[in-house]
Structure 1
């Protein structure tokens, strides 16, 4: 069979065959030899950027380094300058893969990967999806993603979808009428897997629940669903498993890096240790013991065009105590560092706590389709929601009682029923937003 996906990468200058070979060699290194293997690659990528990247050399303030933990932690703010000023010698914007982050953390920026590094990202993706018998060259994907709305961008994306063997459902309007159309596609197309934003796929599952339809009854070729980019709550996972009728795999990635963690067939959130080095650091940028919460900081071990060395991604997470150099396991992703609610008492709370507490009450009866929580002032919050019927006074009282219990009393809420919730330009739903 013609490997169209690999061929399209190869024709665009991304050496996928070589990258797959190299990736297989990384994966074959024994657990025993892995710590030394990773140390050598960390040393090599820093040495390269200190030698060939003026931007990084200026950031470090030196041409050599003695201690990994003394290297600066790079934030998105550091990277908000023209790309040409951040590229390594020998690379130009014409010779690298250029893209921009979605800006879901509020700090979008343009980034680059050299073509070899970008090919390794696809080798890494292929390897992990392969755990679930998915092959990008032959498996047909139902894709729940945003799409550019300008004509050129739209058709370019649609063409890429054809090459990548996928059919895209744009997610800016997921009204019941649109979801009826989505369901029709599942009845007539032999999809192998679903991939896309968590909130959109959850909405589709709620639609199926209302109609008492199990998706594999109408599309028996489906094997698995990979959700990405937004929090996957335990009860949503159960809903998806029930109404899609397939295993749900949780992935965590960043466009500027790679897949960061991917749920393996044993249900563990396995961290990518082949192309990335992932650390959890405290406020002083020092490593914390496994099992302790801290900032997620990531090094891209192969990107020579642009330094992502000790790069603070903006998330808070915990590595499992069982983690090893070869097989780190992400125990928990707590949320984004930017999604913190500041409360009148001085308490700081992850914004997702509000969302979580509210969610446990608001979605019991299937009336509310989705909602977001926005902090307006220290003690006032808006809850925007999409529903069949207005929230009842009893439900509102329940929400406020629970929030007083889990967070603190004396907070004020305004409830706004909407026809549709505003998503980011990429189609992501930010569950908690702070205007402070």
Structure 2
């Protein structure tokens, strides 16, 4: 019995109808797809102009004229009660309601109509199917957070049962916890690992420390899907070696859908069936393939709530190999609000600091993980978890590299802790700034 599919149907999500629509879209050739996309974009804008009073206040025109005239929405536009943002005919009882994690600093509640949510799951199942993973039959080792309130906790545990997954807490990354995880892998025929990148990397480091290849203990393991946080090349190589399976990079957003998913050729294929993804410059002008800019996304099917030319807050690049029907994400740089402002006025991606520091302090295996905070224009604090305090040699080398790649005069503070503070969802924010950016 397909329990996962059945649970969606019992909750009123028309999965079979959504799967049929997805197959129809995927069957279009490039020319037919261009026509479909133009029609679908116009239809979703026209729908919200007719039935969504909130969207009318953003659009500020009487009707749809051309796509490039459609305004770009931001997360701050959505900081108001959900009831004010729903389209006519939709209420909280007849839609799927959830909230974003707030890892970007702008959490909010959102909604999807039931067909749109069914399409979301159809796309997810399709992408996992690229790697012979089935939500109805494949057993998942899940490295995620979990709500701590009683109702939320048991709701997630029930969903875990329906989805054939065992949840490993990301709030305890101690060797003791990982040793217990390993025992579970020895006795459970897991098909794949899925969860937050940073926590799974720490499990791989534990295995390296113990000189263990996971598939020697769990030979049924086929793949590892990481999501929600940056995946660095050296971490991917570490996980592939210690787990003995391919590492698949997923990029998504709860309010939208799967945005991009790696196929077996390691191509990061963008979801062009239910989303339309654009890269724009600071002025909102669309950039050609190969150029870096803000990621703007349109949900082509969500009638309950408008996400039309929605600036998700990330910076990325679409590959020059992209086509309209098969876009490829070449690079995901990080969040647009993760900028470091230096004393000279220069701006740098916050992850630049993380890259530099990571290459120096993780090579000897003593530092388990770390984050960087900008306290003021000149001062950056590196908070790390380690068996030993960083040596003066490490500190001097990091300072030297920071000056080499960025500029002189930066002040670095180092603070050793027993564990890092994660968001309530369990995600780890590698860089954050306490400065108020404009």
**TM-score of the aligned structures, taking structure 1 as reference length:** 0.99
State the SS of the aligned residue for 1:122.
Answer: helix
Match of 1:22? 21
3-state secondary structure, aligned to 2:245: coil
Aligned to 2:119: 120
CA distance in 2, matches of 1:365, 1:122: 42
SS of residue paired to 2:289: coil
Q: Which residue of 2 aligns with 1:161?
A: 160
Distance in 2, Cα, partners of 1:67 & 1:114: 26
Paired residue for 2:414?
415
Residue by residue, what CA displacement relative to the aligned partner does 1:211-238 show, whole Å, maximum 9, x if unpaired? 0000000000000000000000000000
- Equivalent-residue separation in structure 2 for 1:387 and 1:58 (angstroms): 51
- Count of residues paired in the alignment: 435
Correspondence list, 1:247-258, <5 A: 247-258=246-257
Output aligned runs, 1:132-211, within 5 Å. 132-211=131-210
> Equivalent residue for 1:390?
389
CA distance in 2, matches of 1:152, 1:53: 32
SS at match of 2:31: coil
Q: Distance in 2 between matches of 1:210 and 1:109?
A: 40
- Are the equivalent residues in 2 in contact too, given 1:140–1:191 (CA < 8 A)? yes
Contact 1:205 1:239 in 2 (8 A): yes
- Confirm whether residue 305 of structure 1 aligns to residue 287 of structure 2: no
Matched with 1:233 is: 232
Distance 1:137 1:20 in 2: 15
Given that residues 101 and 109 in structure 1 are in contact (C-alpha distance below 8 angstroms), is that contact kept between their aligned partners in structure 2?
Answer: yes
1:278-297 to 2 correspondences below 5 Å: 278-297=277-296
Taking only aligned residues, the RMSD between alpha carbons, in angstroms, comes to: 0.7
Runs of 4+ in 1 over 6 A off after TM superposition: none
Question: In 2, are the aligned partners of 1:295 and 1:315 still within 8 Å (CA)?
Answer: yes
Structure 2 unmatched runs, 5+: none
Q: For residue 417 of structure 1, report the CA deviation from its aligned partner.
A: 0.4
- CA-CA distance at 1:407 after TM superposition: 1.0
Q: Is the 8 A contact 2:170 2:426 kept in 1?
A: yes
Alpha-carbon separation, structure 1, partners of 2:125 and 2:388:
44
Equivalent runs, 1:77-116 vs 2, <5 Å: 77-116=76-115
Distance in 2 between residues matched to 1:371 and 1:350, nearest whole Å:
17
Which deviates more, 59-68 or 80-89? Answer: 59-68
SS across alignment from 1:327: coil
Equivalent residue number for residue 349 of structure 2: 350
Does structure 1 retain, via aligned residues, the 8 Å contact 2:25–2:33? no
Question: In 1, Cα distance between the equivalents of 2:295 and 2:383?
Answer: 30
Q: CA deviation digits over 1:151-180, x for unaligned, max 9? A: 221111111100011110111111111111
Shift of 1:279: 0.4
Q: In 1, Cα distance between the equivalents of 2:61 and 2:362?
A: 55
Report the Cα distance in structure 1 between the residues aligned to 2:232 and 2:369, rounded to whole angstroms: 13
- Provide the C-alpha distance between the structure 2 equivalents of 1:247 and 1:121, rounded to a whole number of angstroms: 24
Mapped partners of 2:23, 2:194: distance in 1: 24
* Alignment match, 1:65: 64
Structure 2 residue aligned with 1:325: 324
- Aligned-residue offset at 1:62: 2.2
Q: Secondary structure at the match of 1:94?
A: helix
TM-score (norm 2): 0.99
How far the C-alpha of 1:63 sits from its partner, in A, is 2.8
The SS at the match of 1:279 is: strand
Q: How far apart in 2 are the matches of 1:30 and 1:4?
A: 34
Quick check: 1:51–1:63 contact (8 Å CA) kept in 2? no
Gaps (5+ residues) in structure 1?
none
Partner of 1:266: 265
Assess if the C-alpha contact under 8 Å between 2:356 and 2:402 holds in 1: yes
- Contact kept, 8 Å, 2:190 with 2:220, in 1: the verdict is yes
- Alignment partner of 1:338 is 2:337: yes
Contact 1:141–1:167 (CA under 8 A) maintained in structure 2:
yes
CA distance in 2, matches of 1:322, 1:169: 38
